[in-house]
Structure 1
Amino acid sequence: MDAETILIVDDNKEIVTILRDVLKSQGYRVLHAYNGRQGLRMALEKQPDLILLDWNLPELSGFQVLHALRERGN
């Protein structure tokens, strides 16, 4: 069985590193993006099982990312 995929979208690299390390140690496949535009693109392309999304992001806010995903039915 393939590992479930989690996308972390946060501009704080320390938070991304901590979350990535913890989640990988639990067997998850982890993707990450450091801004809203990257996060939206990765979410659409990779179709992760879960997205951990910060609200305060450069380029697109977390709310804008969420809104765009909902508009596309994801």
Structure 2
Amino acid sequence: MTDTKPWYLSRTIWAAIVTILTALAGLFGVPLEGFDDAAFVDALLQAVAAVAGVIALMGRLFAQSRIG
């Protein structure tokens, strides 16, 4: 695997982007009125998913070597 490609052709990058956007959409879609524990837990889990997606994306963009 010596070929290289631009970041925007990577399926991994696009999957991470979709994961981040999906988690953020769920996070911002939680209504603040009628706040309950279930909504808080759901929002917290979505925020964690979004952060994990960002970390995965940054790790891939700044990787110095290929996985072998």
| TM exceeding 0.5 | no
TM-score (norm 2): 0.30
TM-score (norm 1): 0.28
Larger radius of gyration between Structure 1 and Structure 2: 2
Higher relative contact order, chain-length normalized (CA < 8 Å, sep 6+): 2
User: Where is the helix percentage greater, Structure 1 or Structure 2?
Assistant: 2
